[in-house]
A and B are shown apart, each in its own frame.
Chain A
Amino acid sequence: EVQLVESGGGLVQPGRSLRLSCAASGFTFDNYAMHWVRQTPGKGLEWVSGINWNSGTIGYADSVKGRFTISRDNAKNSLYMQMNSLRAEDTALYYCVKDRMLAVAGFFEIWGQGTMVTVSS
Chain B
Amino acid sequence: SSELTQDPAVSVALGQTVRITCQGDSLRNYDANWYQQKPGQAPVLVIFGKNNRPSGIPDRFSGSSSGDTASLTITGAQAEDEADYYCNSRDTSGKHLVFGGGTKLTVL
- A interface residues with partner B (beta carbon < 8 Å): 35, 44-47, 50, 59, 61-62, 95, 100, 104, 106-109, 111-114
Interface size class of B (residues with CB under 8 A): 20 to 34
A95 & B42 in contact (Cβ 8 Å cutoff)? yes
CA–CA, A35 and B49, complex, Å: 18
For the A-B complex with A45-B99, A47-B96 known, give 4 more contacts whose Cβ atoms are closer than 8 Å: A44-B86, A59-B97, A107-B49, A108-B45
Shortest Cβ distance from A96 into B: residue: B42
B96 & A108 in contact (Cβ 8 Å cutoff)? no
- B residues 52-77 in Cβ contact with A at 8 Å: 54
Pick from A46, A106, A114: contact of B33, CB below 8 A.
Answer: A106
Q: How many A-B residue pairs have CB under 8 A?
A: 52
- B interface residues with partner A (beta carbon < 8 Å): 2, 33, 35, 42-45, 48-49, 54, 86, 88-90, 95-102
Pick from A47, A107, A113, A114: contact of B48, CB below 8 A.
Answer: A107
Shortest Cβ distance from B41 into A: residue: A113
A114 & B96 in contact (Cβ 8 Å cutoff)? no
A47 & B88 in contact (Cβ 8 Å cutoff)? yes
CA–CA, A104 and B2, complex, Å: 20
